[in-house]
């Protein structure tokens, strides 16, 4: 059985300047969490991590994600699929390529599991379409990446509202930590800001309330 209260209480794994301790990194956080998860919850974490690395984001992965019994996995990767397609559509338009080029539709081939419309999965309505479009329109590359990551962060917050001591709280933390971890490389100041925000969120979660500091 997963020890969620212990995991959540220990989640930050960050020093006072919002950096990892010497010799530690994202992988150390993952392994510490893993040691306190049940086999079932560990499998959910590993599935999320596969998606966060970006190497397995093909049609088969999304088909499996959108059939998951876990709401966070299902809805996070539905959002991820829609955001991916929004990025591809933006690139297609910018380069004058066919509008549907490289768009992932989930259309199945013979032998694939398909619904009556011939698709294994669809992204459904993309509620954040306008925000994604505005983010992609940012001229500065860093501003664009920040706007897109802010959109992902907000989605994770929405999906983990009222999830305090369960696997979705842990999955949401890892999704946010991955964003902060990436910004340490791209922009150290932004990375520190995200780590600070994440630490505040975890402290608020452990108290059983969500709070913000001015």
List the pLDDT tens digit at each of the 214 positions of the chain.
677 776 777 665 444 345 666 666 788 888 888 988 999 999 999 999 999 988 788 888 998 999 999 999 999 999 999 999 999 999 998 889 999 888 888 876 554 555 545 567 778 889 999 999 999 999 888 889 989 999 999 999 999 988 878 899 999 989 988 888 888 777 777 777 887 787 777 666 544 433 344 3
Compute the distance between CA of residue 157 and CA of residue 114 in angstroms, rounded to an integer: 32
Q: Token match 């259309």: residue?
A: 107
In the chain, DSSP finds a helix count (H) and a strand count (E) of 9, 0
Nearest to 174 by CA among 48, 14, 15, 74: 48
DSSP summary character for residue 182: H
Nearest to 77 by CA among 67, 87, 86: 67
Nearest to 176 by CA among 2, 4, 11, 9: 11
Q: What is the pTM of this model?
A: 0.82
Output the six-digit token pair for 13. 């794994």
Under the phi-then-psi rule, with left for phi > 0, alpha for psi from -120 to 50, and beta for the rest, what region is 129? alpha
Distance from the Cα of residue 35 to its chain's centroid = 22
Residue 184 · residue 193 · CB < 8 Å: no
């Amino acid at each position: 059985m997963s020890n969620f209260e212990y995991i959540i209480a220990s989640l930050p794994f960050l020093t006072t300047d919002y950096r990892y301790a010497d010799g530690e990194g994202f992988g150390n956080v993952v392994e510490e969490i893993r040691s306190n998860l049940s086999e079932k919850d560990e499998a959910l974490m590993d599935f999320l991590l596969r998606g966060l690395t970006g190497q397995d984001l093909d049609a088969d992965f999304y088909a499996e994600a959108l059939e998951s019994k876990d709401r966070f996995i299902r809805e996070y990767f539905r959002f991820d699929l829609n955001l991916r397609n929004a990025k591809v559509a933006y690139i297609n338009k910018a380069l004058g390529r066919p509008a549907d080029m490289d768009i992932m539709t989930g259309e199945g081939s013979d032998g694939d599991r398909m619904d009556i419309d011939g698709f294994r999965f669809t992204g459904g309505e993309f509620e954040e379409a306008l925000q994604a479009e505005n983010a992609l329109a940012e001229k500065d590359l860093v501003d664009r990446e920040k706007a897109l990551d802010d959109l992902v962060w907000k989605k994770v917050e929405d999906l983990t509202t009222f999830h305090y001591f369960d696997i979705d709280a842990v999955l949401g933390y890892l999704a946010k930590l991955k964003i902060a971890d990436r910004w340490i490389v791209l922009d150290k100041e932004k990375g520190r800001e995200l780590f600070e925000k994440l630490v505040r969120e975890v402290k608020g979660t452990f108290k059983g309330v969500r709070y913000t500091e001015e």
